[in-house]
Amino acid sequence: MQIIPMRDLKNTVEVERRCAEENGPVYVTKNGYGRLVVMDIEYYERTMQKMFEAKSIMEGLEDVKAGQTLDGDTAISSIRSRYGI
């Protein structure tokens, strides 16, 4: 885990290098307290994709708990009748 003081943000080349090297977030502090997080765009996109997938799984599990599901045969029959297949 990389932690840098706010004043180091002036050296953007070094911050970019640290982000790429860390392959994760770089924490920026101000007066000794966490203030910002800087990360490589690829790491950000991977993280956002994982969050989207986790949210989709959670929504699916909620549907199962609420009984809002169909068995496979019923679902396929419904799709076929809806689209005239």
**18-74 residue pLDDT tens:** 998 888 899 999 999 999 999 999 999 999 999 999 999 999 999 999 999 989 999
Q: Which residues are CB-neighbours of 1 under 8 A, at least 6 positions away?
A: 22, 24, 25, 27
Tell me if the pTM is above 0.75: no
Rg, the chain, Cα only: 23
- Concatenate the DSSP letters of all residues of 40-61 into one string: -HHHHHHHHHHHHHHHHHHHHH
